[in-house]
Amino acid sequence: MLLSSEFLAELLLLAPLAGAVLVWLPKAWAARTGDDVVNRLQDYITTGTSLASLVLILMIAGISHGALRFRVGFMEFYLDSLSVFFLLLVSLVAFVASCYAGPCWARRSGTGALDRTLFYSLFNLFHFTMVLVPMVSNLAVLWIGIELTTVTSTVLVASERSREHFEAAWKYIIITSTGIIFALLGTLFLASAIPLDKYPHPSMSWPDLVGLARDLDPNLVRLSFLFVLIGYGTKAGFAPMHTWLPDAHGQAPYPVSALLSGVLLKSALYAILRFFTITNAALRDGGLFTSHMLLGTGLISLVVATPFILKQNPFKRILAYHSLEHMGIITLGIGIGGPIALFGALLHVLNHGVTKSLMFLAYGNIQDNYPSDQATGPAEPGREGVLRAMPWTGSCLALGGLALVGSPPFSIFLSEFLILWGAVAKVIVQPTVWLAVSIVVFLLSVTLIFGGLIRHLSRILLGKPPDHVRAERPRQVIPLLSLLVVVVVLGLVIPDSGPIDLRRLLEESIVIVCGSEGCR
């Protein structure tokens, strides 16, 4: 059959890679057509391939049931509901961010920034690496995928080539590449945990490892999970390894910030989830070991993020600290365990990815349209009165902000409520100090952060705008509105019909994450 899941999955991999190559073609015609036409073509290619990715993943989600295992050359790919769920997030955010790549870079051309073609190409390559991660079957290749995201995104973070941008890129690559070494060692320890007398031809393929998990050496599996949590946790932005996050997210061009915060952090979380399943199946302790580790990580992230969100900081840094908070909440949800909290945690992955992209892109509109640039200091003078000067963007920022702090009826409220419900349900059945502390810290930090962000937002949204603010264009507003629709719809209902059966996808993902041990 022409439109088999396998064929669509191959196209899904190919689309952003093709985009990365194709953007170089129009440059060859620059002498004949002029830069404007070249840039427009590159813009169409980038947006077009991202849209193709989104359509392809929606088609795959619609027709595929069960796991799909296939080979392209010597590489094995594995696509189950968990992969499809993460790919959906990658493709959605990448498409919306790609709509802003062209306009964002147009304003930065001629300022010593990276060549525009190279920027487009790297943007597509970065997209490709994030598509690759949830599709590979082999855990060592998964590591290569995550490591490639670092290489491409580092150049994008520094793409404006100023002192601050290089500093942010430096911290990003030094800290995450140190972390990634831990992750490879964790993968290697897992390989060493395979009993070679029983399995003389071991494989690092995830489904194979899940199959033989009961025979793995438990001590090495524990060490492996610890290293993987530190390693991929550095990339996921967990505290205390998060120090690169506010700098990189704060300095990157805003479509890249949207990808970093909305998707890249989750790619690392995806890797942790794959090891989580194997570890639980190997230890057969009812998920106690992983639960303690993840609860601890989540709590530290929440506690560290809160004061920085309350502080007067540039707005993009505040958004970055929000990512730390939300990654903490997701980790807490996985650590709490049980079907309700896990459902909430996975839903929160999607909700946070979409909402945070909305916020970064809306703020990017403000950066582009406000006169440049009195606006780098902590109080960001000159960036006031957005609601009056840019009513559409201002409204999206206001509603997105309310969604981000967990107000009803937006999507994050629903997922946070589910995590809390899961925690309370568990504490009633199995009361532990850890769980009780988690609930208290969770509630306290969410309440404090609510007040903090509202204060920051009112500073930007209200007041008198400066003169000469450029008017919003439809292209700046329509993608934001579409993200806002997703944020509102997901707050009211988990779709189980239409283009995608999200409920089924989430339920199947929970079964995959819980593994043979089941969720307790």
Partner 1 sequence: MPGDGLIQQLVTLLSYLMVIMALLISASTTLKQMVTLYQAQSWVLTFVVLLTSLESEQTRLAVALLALLPAALALAVAPLLGRASLIRALPDDQRNPGPSGLRARAAELRDSLRNAPARADLIWLQHGHSRLRRGPSAAIDMMLIATAVLVAYRLARGVEGKLALDSEVVPSLAVTIALLLQGLFTMSNKRDIIAQVIGLLVIEHGLFLAAVRIAPSALAFLFVASLFFYVLVTLTILLWILPELHRASASIEVIDNSRLSG
User: Which positions lie near partner 1, rule CB under 8 A?
Assistant: 112, 114-115, 138, 140, 143-144, 147-148, 150-151, 154-155, 158, 161-164, 166-171, 173-174, 177-178, 180-182, 184-185, 188-189, 191-194, 196, 200-202, 204, 217-220, 223, 246-247, 250-251, 308, 311, 313-314, 317, 378
| Cis status of the peptide bond prior to 501, with omega within 30 of 0 | no
Residue closest to 399 by CA, chosen among 477, 488, 490:
488
Alpha helices in 133-205, H assignment, sequence order: 139-157, 163-192
Question: Shortest approach of partner 1 to residue 453 CB, angstroms?
Answer: 16
Q: Based on CB atoms, which residue is closest to partner 1, 180 or 386?
A: 180
Q: Based on CB atoms, which residue is closest to partner 1, 191 or 462?
A: 191
Q: Based on CB atoms, which residue is closest to partner 1, 219 or 447?
A: 219
Crossing angle (nearest 10°) for helices 265-283 and 338-369: 170
Question: Shortest approach of partner 1 to residue 39 CB, angstroms?
Answer: 17
Question: Shortest approach of partner 1 to residue 373 CB, angstroms?
Answer: 14
Question: Shortest approach of partner 1 to residue 170 CB, angstroms?
Answer: 5
Q: Based on CB atoms, which residue is closest to partner 1, 246 or 406?
A: 246
Q: Based on CB atoms, which residue is closest to partner 1, 25 or 63?
A: 25
Q: Based on CB atoms, which residue is closest to partner 1, 89 or 169?
A: 169
| Cis status of the peptide bond prior to 409, with omega within 30 of 0 | yes
β-sheet bridge partners, residue 136: 77
Residue 229, exposed/middle/buried by CB under 10 A (0-12, 13-18, 19+)? buried
Q: Based on CB atoms, which residue is closest to partner 1, 162 or 430?
A: 162
Q: Based on CB atoms, which residue is closest to partner 1, 17 or 511?
A: 17
Q: How far, in Å, are 157, 201, 271 from residue 513 at the CA level? A: 32, 26, 11
Residue closest to 98 by CA, chosen among 160, 24, 42:
42
Question: Shortest approach of partner 1 to residue 143 CB, angstroms?
Answer: 6
Question: Shortest approach of partner 1 to residue 118 CB, angstroms?
Answer: 10
User: Which residues of 172-317 form beta strands (DSSP E)?
Assistant: none
Query: Residues 274, 135, 5, 99: what is their CA dihedral angle, to the nearest 10 degrees?
Result: 120
Q: How far, in Å, are 86, 181, 184, 335, 487 from residue 204 at the CA level? A: 21, 17, 12, 25, 37
The amino acid sitting at 417 is F
Residue with tokens 């191959």: 10
Question: Shortest approach of partner 1 to residue 113 CB, angstroms?
Answer: 9
Helix (H) or strand (E) holding 23: none
d(CA 84, CA 54): 11
Question: Shortest approach of partner 1 to residue 408 CB, angstroms?
Answer: 31
Question: Shortest approach of partner 1 to residue 165 CB, angstroms?
Answer: 8
Q: Based on CB atoms, which residue is closest to partner 1, 95 or 308?
A: 308
Residue with tokens 């093709």: 18
Sign of CA dihedral 7, 11, 12, 17: positive
Contact of 325 with 288, CB cutoff 8 Å: no
